[in-house]
Amino acid sequence: MNLEKVIFGFFVLLAATLNFGFFLGDISNPEIHNVYELFAALAVSLIATVLKFGDRTQIGAVHLATSLVADLQLIAAGVVWIWAQEISASGVTVMSTASMVSLSGGALLANLVSVVLLVAETVTFHRG
């Protein structure tokens, strides 16, 4: 068993599951979507991105691309939350919550592509 692959797979799956946990629920209800879960998803996604650097294969490049997309989407969701909570006079509204959740949904799609790539890479791996 390759410990590096285990750690890599762990962070890829954890990023996807944390993102899914934030995304799940009524898109407009801010009480359902925990901001700490959003930031946990972002932190784990950034760790997963760092772990993807150094893989010089084609599938490694696609893994990195999916991680970068997820990171950008989650960063944008975090910026929306910070703007709504700290700067906007109206606070966290239905519209800002819907924006955060939608951006998280885009990141979730990128995470799912990464998980599918990970599974496909594992299934097609041949010991030589």
Taking the domains of the chain in order of start, what are their residue ranges?
Answer: 3-123
The mean of the pLDDT values for the chain is 93
What pLDDT was estimated at residue 45? Answer: 96
In the structure, what pLDDT confidence band is assigned to residue 128 with cuts at 50, 70 and 90?
A: low
Mean pLDDT calculated for residue range 106-125 = 92
- In angstroms, the Cα distances linking 1 to 5, 6, 37, 38, 120 are 8, 8, 31, 32, 18
Whether pLDDT at 126 is above 70? no
In the structure, what pLDDT confidence band is assigned to residue 125 with cuts at 50, 70 and 90?
A: confident
Taking the C-alpha atoms of residue 14 and residue 114, their distance in angstroms, rounded to an integer, is 12
Q: What is the pTM of this model?
A: 0.92
Residue 50 CA, distance from chain mean position = 13
Tens-place pLDDT, residues 5-62: 899 999 999 999 999 999 999 998 999 999 999 999 999 999 999 998 878 888 889 9
Contacts 24+ apart (CB under 8 A), 53-60: 59/117, 59/121
Tens-place pLDDT, residues 21-32: 999 999 989 999
Tens-place pLDDT, residues 56-90: 888 889 999 999 999 999 999 999 999 999 999 99
